[in-house]
Amino acid sequence: MLLKVNLPQPIRIGPLAVPGNAFLAPMSGVSDLPFRRLCARFGASLVVSEMVAGEAVASGSQEAVLRASGEGLDCHIVQLTGREEGAMAFGVKVAEAAGADVIDINMGCPSRRVTQGYSGSALMRDLDHALRLIDATVAAASVPVTLKMRLGWDENAMNAPELAKRAQDAGIRMVTVHGRTRRQFFKGQANWNAIQTVKDAVSIPVVANGDLTAPEMAAEMLHQSGADAVMIGRGAYGKPWIIGQTAALLATRWPRRSRRSCWRAIARSCARTLRHDPDPLRNGARRPDRQKTSGLVSGRASFRGSGLRPAETGDVGNRPGHCIGNRAAHL
């Protein structure tokens, strides 16, 4: 039995209206431009770029600039991370030059490489410094700014509600919460109920993230968290259609696309991946790169049982994936 949840329609990120409630999470080595395009083609309401380091952009890194690209997306969201106010402000300008409709700030990445540089979820240990970065980013941006975080650094410092409230007061337009602490990394089970404390603390939209691996789980996630939308990360490995399925199911409809048209879309995406980054295995393949590419093959079994019904080739129906606001109106 599917749990019915009344959802506010549409979610708004500042002036932008998003006609859907299921988003692709930012994932290093996974949510590159071709993969984001593919997920959007399958109906994802929003897709977020790989994490882009403000300091890397400021130093002239071409890979960082490549990560910020968003050609072909109706709504382009760039996620920035960093520890210095000036670098974050510079990253905003680069992202906006690349056509960003929304800037997202990363304060949730648990990677040791990131947290040892006092970025990502390490910022949840120093909320005053986190707010200085938020202030600098919001001041530099001409587009809405959002924030992604965890529940806290560990079980003794579950300060996500405080950070969310202070971020809202500083001009943040939406917050996403992964239902684990940094210390948990991806171990154990995401605590969807704990996200409710963030929802209770703010009036801006809240997005729940963590352990959503099937569309049928989304209603329960929203029920437990009180959130306005869901974000899918690792659950999309090898299943780029799962986000569109989830958005459609929450809107009480089901996407109709033929299997042949879906696999044609995936084949085109693989070709675009190589055009986007001709050497994806540089310096050795990152683990997410391997999981994404191998998953598109192993995902055939899950696609066969996905419930997608035959339809006219190329039929995508009234798919989500468009921002309606100052810069885009495609519905």
Catalytic residue numbers read 109
Q: Which two tokens stand for residue 286?
A: 């990152």
Q: Which two tokens stand for residue 209?
A: 């993230």
Helix runs in the chain, H state only: 33-41, 54-58, 62-67, 85-97, 112-115, 127-140, 160-169, 192-201, 218-225, 242-250, 259-276, 287-298, 300-304
Per DSSP bridges, beta strands 175-178 and 229-232 are: unpaired
Q: Could you give the dihedral angle defined by the CA atoms of residues 180, 205, 96 and 27, in that order, rounded to the nearest 10 degrees? A: 30
Q: Which of 76, 100, 91 is nearest to 133 (CA)?
A: 91
Question: Contact at 8 Å (CB) between 122 and 115?
Answer: yes
User: Under 8 Å CB-to-CB from 293, ≥6 apart: which residues?
Assistant: 270
**How many Å is the Cα radius of gyration of the chain?**
18
How far is residue 148's CA from residue 17's CA, in Å, rounded to a whole number? Answer: 19
